[in-house]
């Protein structure tokens, strides 16, 4: 059988990294970086998600078609957000004061 079996050591490593990143994102949230706070928070969340998707969800070892499917979900999410904000940010009569 060609199924990939993840090693316990790898899964535990990912688990510890996820916990460490959670502690990090909580800690940095108490510092005021202005508009950078949200960027840091979302970057850490994106990195944590990538770890979960690649290793816990086995996409790292998946077929190319699996990559295409997972990537398509991400791509459509980006389209949704970009077009939504392309609309709202280009409305001069709506007061967008911050992200």
Partner 1 sequence: MPEPHGALAQQFEDLEQQHESATLGMWLFLITEIMFFGGLFAAYAVYRSTHPEAWHNGSRHLDVVMGGINTAVLISSSLTMALAVRAAQLSKKTALLANLALTIAFGAVFLGIKAIEYHHKLEAGLVPGRFFTYVGPDLDHLQLFFLFYFIMTGMHAFHMVVGLVVLAVLVVMTLKGRLLGDFYKPVELTGLYWHFVDVVWIFLFPLLYLIGRHG
Count residues contacting partner 1 (CB under 8 A)? 56
Q: Give yes or no for residue 12 binding partner 1 (CB under 8 A).
A: yes
> 76 or 92, CB closer to partner 1?
76
Packing angle of the helix pair 8-29, 36-51 (nearest 10 deg): 170
Listing DSSP states for 47-87 in one string gives: HHHHHIIIIIS-GGGS-HHHHHHHHHHHHHHHHHHHHHHHH
- Contacts to partner 1 from residues 15-34, by CB under 8 A: 15, 18-19, 22, 25-26, 29-33
* Cβ at position 70, least distance to partner 1 in Å: 6
Phi-psi region at 4: left, alpha or beta (left = phi > 0; alpha = psi -120 to 50): beta
Q: Residue 60: which of 1, 10, 8, 9 has the closest Cα?
A: 10
**In the complex, which residues of this chain contact partner 1 (CB under 8 A)?**
1-3, 5-6, 8, 11-12, 14-15, 18-19, 22, 25-26, 29-33, 37-38, 41-42, 44-45, 48-49, 52-53, 55-58, 62-63, 65-66, 69-70, 72-74, 76-77, 80-81, 84-85, 88, 94-99
């Amino acid at each position: 059988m060609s199924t990939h079996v993840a090693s316990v050591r790898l899964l535990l490593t990912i688990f510890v990294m996820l916990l460490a990143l959670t502690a990090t994102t909580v800690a940095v949230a108490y510092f005021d970086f202005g508009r950078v706070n949200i960027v840091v928070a979302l970057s850490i969340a994106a990195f944590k998600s990538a770890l979960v998707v690649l290793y816990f969800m086995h996409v790292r070892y998946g077929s190319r078609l699996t990559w295409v499917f997972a990537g398509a979900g991400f791509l459509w999410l980006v389209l949704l957000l970009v077009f939504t904000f392309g609309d709202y940010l280009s409305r001069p009569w709506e007061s967008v004061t911050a992200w």
